Amino acid sequence: MTSTTAGSPSLASRLSAFTKHGVAVSYVLLVVLIVVAVILNPAFASWANVKAQLQIATFIGIIAIGQTLVILTGQIDLSVPWNLTFSSILMATLYGQGYGFGVAIGAALLVGISVGLINAIGVAVFRLHSLVWTLGMNALLEGATMVYTNGQPPDSTIPSVVRFLAVGHLGGMPVSPLVWAFLSLVTILVLARSRFGRFLYATGNNEPALFLSGVDTRLVYVGAFVASGLCAVIGGILLTGYASQTYLGMGNDYLLVPIAAVIIGGTNIMGGAGGYVGTIAGTLIVVLLQSILSIAQIGQAGKNIVFGVIIIALVLLYAREARPTD
């Protein structure tokens, strides 16, 4: 006795189709969520609300650029929350102490590069699992931030340029989504047209084979993790401008959500398949979900549960697809 009738696809085949066509599915889901949100609240379609949603999506989307590159290699970066927090606080305090915009921004970016390099060394040189290594780096950065601030909320002096990039407008359009659009275009072109992009996919698919072909895969990991570190810093800088302040734990909400955006967008958590085109849809989906959950008066803890369940479900799905068949 079969579980499905002829011509009726099984649940397993539908799940398999998602892993193969995740990008298309994510955009269909995005359209469905938009329609549902507008039905629930017609004001959701107003230009004012659209701009607000895009600004929120910008922070997630930029951080998700780095996560996409890392996940394509089959790794993950859990150092984002306190990399974002420490670099943002460092930028604001240095600028407030009169060091100038260039020095403040440069110091923040240097933190991101350093964190990315250390993460890459742990994964590529010491061959440690990225989940454990980057989580340890996140804890280290949290401790460093507490020492730097003496555990007190820091005084924040935000450069006017940062404020403009975060909340400014050009021709009625918020500037921050334009920044995200530019970085998105660069990312898509890198993944589609560059050797580095091809190496990212190849590393996630079969790192030993790529290494035997003469490619130093350690440098691929360096590029991916440094990009992730920089994206966390850029996202944090824009978030600082948006909030007009820095505060301890400001990056805590950006641990699961960008990862969920990447996976919902069709990038295989096991590496080697996907891309940033899908992550854009995944980012907008998680922002819509956050809005719907907020309307339902579900707090941040509840939202984390929802995104955690999504990540676990999709990880199990991809693991099932990766399992060899007899």
User: pLDDT by residue (tens digit) across 45-73?
Assistant: 888 889 999 999 999 999 999 999 999 99
Asked whether the predicted pLDDT for residue 19 surpasses 80, the reply is no
DSSP structure class, residue 137: H
**Stronger pLDDT, 219 or 4, i.e. the higher one:** 219
Q: How far apart are CA 112 and CA 92, in angstroms?
A: 15
Start-end of H helices in the chain: 11-20, 22-40, 47-72, 80-96, 101-120, 130-149, 160-167, 175-193, 195-212, 217-243, 256-264, 276-295, 300-322
Q: At what angle do helices 160-167 and 217-243 cross, to 10 degrees?
A: 90
Q: CA 267, CA 19: separation in Å to the nearest integer?
A: 8
DSSP state of 170: E
Inter-residue contact 73 to 221 (CB < 8 Å)? yes
- The pLDDT of residue 184 is above 90: yes
Q: What is the pLDDT of residue 323?
A: 52
pLDDT > 90? residue 280: yes
In degrees and rounded to multiples of 5, residue 169 shows phi and psi of -130, 150
State residue 181's pLDDT score: 97
Provide the pLDDT for residue 3.
43
Pairwise pLDDT comparison (201 vs 36), residue with the higher score: 201
Asked if residues 80 and 243 have their Cβ atoms less than 8 Å apart, the reply is: no
**In the structure, what pLDDT confidence band is assigned to residue 320 with cuts at 50, 70 and 90?**
low
Q: What six digits make up the tokens of 121?
A: 């060394």
- Residue 236 is predicted with a pLDDT of 97
CA 216/CA 297 separation, integer angstroms: 50
Q: Whole-number mean pLDDT of the chain? A: 89
User: Which residue in the block uniquely carries the two structure tokens 């998602």?
Assistant: 18
pLDDT in tens, 224-256: 999 999 999 999 999 999 999 999 999 998 998
Asked whether the predicted pLDDT for residue 189 surpasses 50, the reply is yes
Other beta carbons within 10 angstroms of residue 137's beta carbon come to 23
Note the pLDDT of residue 322. 56
pTM (2 d.p.): 0.90
